[in-house]
Amino acid sequence: MHNFSSTRIDRRFKDLAVEGRAALVAFVMAGDPDLATSLDILKALPKAGADVIEVGMPFTDPMADGPAIQAAGLRALAAGATLAKTLKLVADFRGEDQTTPIVLMGYYNPIYVYGVDAFLEAAKESGVDGLIVVDLPPEEDSELCLPALAAGLNFIRLATPTTDDARLPAVLANTSGFVYYVSITGTTGAATPNFSATASAVARIKRHTGLPVAVGFGVKTAADAAAIAAHADGVVVGSAIVDALRGSLDAEGRATPGTVPAVAKLVEDLAGGVRTAARAPA
């Protein structure tokens, strides 16, 4: 097993377990709607109550993403986002925040094109803590997962309602940081999860691992966040945040003075929901 006692992700989940509450994991797309606004949004997230930030790596063919996140990626690409600029965004964020964990989420193709070793070195240098690469199954661990672990980055795996007990050990074998449980079958933002089914799924995953389990897909409101936070170690919100951003843009899809506040306000509401679902401290 790899020892990750020193990553920001591990420390954050450990601290929150002591506090007796779940983490709010907020997803935003790098470079949406432009790089400068994207940096301002990143800086606003911890102050609004995000405990962990997932930063999407824009990609032209995001097959696991629903319409909201696909559109965010296309806006970012149209504004000139690249993987190199995404890494610089994280480095710029780290200029004033050394504690909030950052997870890059996306697809393998841009990393492969960048070069795995060069990417891992640049990611580590930029202040990235972990990776979620949705199209690399455990059978491909030698491609990126094992090199990432060797570089000291958490490699976070997704489990879904269709991941059965026979499959779970393979999914969890080289996972670190946390397990991301996708609470509904389908693309992101598609439907509202069944909260009681989610609770039993989290319990099932925890029988196989000591890692924190964060739940995402379909969380839209503070009430949703509270319902999941009562049972999970983290609540992941993506599409709702991206929708709040999109709703603040002008007719040409450009940022307005209301863009950063719109995102911050929703994250504050969600953080409030997560914090109402207090649990016994670890």
CA angle centred on 24, ends 49 and 111, rounded to 5°:
110
Instruction: Read off φ and ψ for residue 144, nearest 5 degrees.
Output: -140, -40
Catalytic residue among 34, 51, 54, 141: 54
Q: Identify the residue whose tokens are 């070195």.
A: 121
Q: Which tokens hold the place of 92?
A: 């710029």
Q: Which residues contact 167 (CB under 8 A, 6 or more apart)?
A: none
Q: In this structure, are residues 241 and 263 in contact, taking their beta carbons and an 8 Å threshold?
A: yes
Catalytic residue among 10, 65, 129, 233: 65
Across the beta sheet with 102-106, what order do the strands follow? 154-155, 130-133, 102-106, 52-56, 23-29, 234-237, 213-216, 179-182, 157-159
Q: What does the DSSP assignment read for 117-141? A: HHHHHHHHHHT--EEEETT--GGGT
CA angle centred on 279, ends 181 and 277, rounded to 5°:
70
Q: Give yes or no: 65 in active site.
A: yes
Residues known to be catalytic: 54, 65
